[in-house]
Structure 1
Amino acid sequence: MKEGLRQSMALLHTWAGLLLGWLLFAMFATGTAAYFQDEITRWMQPEVTGKADPVASAEGAVRYLQRTAPDAASWFITPPNSRSATTQVYWQPGENAKPAKRRETSAVLDQSGHEISTRETRGGFFLYRFHFDLHYMPVYWARYLVGVAAMFMLVAILSGIITHKKIFADFFMLRFNKGQRSWLDAHNVTAVIALPFHLMITFTGLVTLATMYMPWGIAANYADRSAFSNAVFGNSEDVARSGKAAPLCAVGPIMRSASAQWGGKAVGYLRVTNPGDATARIGATRAPEAAIGSRGEEVTFDGVTGKPLDQSMPKGAALATESVMIGLHAGRFAEYGLRWLYFLSGVGGTIMVGSGLVLWTVKRRSKLPDPSRPHFGFRLVEKLNIATIAGFPAAIATYFLANRLLPAWLADRADQEVNSLFLAWLGVLIWAIIRPAARAWPEMMGLAAGLFAAVPLVNAITTSRGLPASLLAGDWLFVSFDAAMLVLAAGFALGARRAARKRVEGPRPAPRKTQEVMAA
Structure 2
Amino acid sequence: MSEPKRFRPAMAWLHTWAGLVVGWVLFAVFVTGTASYYKDDISRWMRPELRETVIDPAQSATAAAGFLARLAPDSGGWLVKLPKPDQPLTEVYWWKSFAGPFHHALLDPTTGAPTSARDTQAGEFLYRFHFELALPPLVGRWIVGACAMVLLIALISGIVTHRRIFADFFTFRPDRSRQRAWLDAHNLFGVLALPFHLMITYTGLMTLGPMLMPWGLQAAYHDEAPHFYVEAGLMPKGRMPSGTAAEGLPLGEIVRIAGKDGGELPEALMVSSPGDAAATVSAVFEEPHGLAHLHPQIAYDAVTGAELARNLPAGPATRTATVMYGLHEAHFASHALRVLFFLCGLLGAATVASGLVLWTVARAPKGAAPEGFGLRLVRILNVGTIAGLPAGIAAFFLANRLLPLDLAGRASWEVGLFFGAWVVVALAGALAPRRLAWPLTLGLAAATFVAIVPADLALIGEPRFVPFDIAMLLVGALLIVAARTAARPPSALARRAASRVAEA
Corresponding residue of 2:336 = 337
- Asked if the contact 1:289–1:333 (Cα under 8 Å) also holds between the matched residues in 2, the reply is no
Report what 2:483 is aligned to. 496
Which residue type is aligned with residue 452 of structure 1?
F
Partner in structure 2 of residue 450 of structure 1: 447
Shift of 1:253: 2.5
1:42 is aligned, of 38, 41, 44, to 44
Aligned pair count reads: 486
Q: Is the 8 A contact 1:87 1:111 kept in 2?
A: no
Structure 2 unaligned spans of 5+: 499-504
Does residue 1:253 correspond to 2:256, yes or no?
yes
The residue aligned with 1:116 is 115
The equivalent of 1:281 in structure 2 is 280
Shift of 1:299: 0.7
Q: Which residue in 1 is equivalent to 2:469?
A: 482
Say which SS state the counterpart of residue 314 (structure 1) adopts.
coil
Structure 1 CA distance for aligned equivalents of residues 59 and 175 of structure 2: 61
What secondary structure is seen at the aligned counterpart in 1 of 2:170? coil
Task: Return closer, same or farther for 1:228/1:423 CA change in 2, 3 Å cut-off.
Answer: same
SS at match of 2:107: strand
Residues 241 and 49 (structure 1), Cα distance of their counterparts in 2 relative to 1, 3 Å cut:
farther
TM superposition shift of 1:18: 0.9
What's 1:322 paired with? 321
Alpha-carbon distance change, 345 to 439 in structure 1, aligned in 2, over 3 angstroms? same
Spell out the pairing of 1:318-397 with structure 2 (5 A cutoff): 318-365=317-364, 368-370=365-367, 373-397=370-394
Indicate the residue corresponding to 1:87 in structure 2: 90
After the TM superposition, which residues 93-492 of structure 1 pair with which residues of structure 2 at under 5 Å, given as runs? Answer: 106-110=105-109, 115-135=114-134, 137-178=135-176, 179-224=178-223, 226=225, 228-229=228-229, 231-232=231-232, 233=234, 235-240=237-242, 242-245=244-247, 247-248=249-250, 250-260=253-263, 267-273=266-272, 279-288=278-287, 290-365=289-364, 368-370=365-367, 373-462=370-459, 464=460, 466=461, 469-470=462-463, 475=464, 478-492=465-479
User: Is the partner of 1:171 in helix, strand or coil?
Assistant: helix
1:208: Cα distance to partner? 0.9
Q: CA RMSD in A?
A: 2.8
* Aligned-pair CA distance for 1:6: 1.9
**CA distance in 1: counterparts of 2:261 and 2:423, whole angstroms:** 49
**Aligned residues of 1:406 and 1:413 also touching (Cα < 8 A):** yes
* Segment of structure 1 superposing worse, 271-280 or 18-27: 271-280
Residue 283 of structure 1 aligns to a residue whose secondary structure is strand
User: Compared with structure 1, are the counterparts of its residues 416 and 6 closer, same or farther at alpha carbon in structure 2 (3 Å cutoff)?
Assistant: same
Q: Distance in 2 between matches of 1:371 and 1:259?
A: 74
Change (3 A) 1:442 1:372: farther
Q: 1:286 to 1:434 in 2, by over 3 A?
A: same
The alignment's TM-score, normalised by the length of structure 2, stands at 0.88
Shift of 1:347: 0.7
Q: Give the drift of 1:123.
A: 0.8
Quote the offset at 1:291 in angstroms.
Answer: 4.3
Using the TM superposition, give the Cα deviation of residue 422 of structure 1 relative to its aligned residue in structure 2, in angstroms.
1.1
Offset at 1:386? 0.6
Instruction: Write the letter of the residue equivalent to 1:488.
Output: V
Pairing partner for 1:10 from 5, 9, 12: 12
Question: Is the partner of 1:426 in helix, strand or coil?
Answer: helix
Structure 1: tracts of 5 or more residues without a match: 95-100, 512-520
1:14 is paired with a residue whose SS is helix
Q: CA deviation at 1:239?
A: 3.3
CA deviation after TM superposition for structure 1 residue 246, in Å: 5.3
Q: Is the 8 A contact 2:57 2:255 kept in 1?
A: no
**1:60 partner letter:** S
Question: AA paired with 2:308?
Answer: L
Cα deviation for residue 304 of structure 1 reads 4.5
Opposite residue 297 of structure 1, the aligned amino acid is: P
Deviation at 1:301, TM superposition (A): 1.9
Any conservation in 1 of the 2:12–2:158 contact (CA below 8 Å)?
Answer: yes
**CA 1:52–1:276: 2 relative to 1, 3 Å:** farther
The change in CA–CA distance for 1:259 and 1:480 in structure 2 (over 3 A counts) is farther
Deviation at 1:256, TM superposition (A): 2.0
TM norm structure 1? 0.85
Whether 1:61 aligns to 2:55 is: no
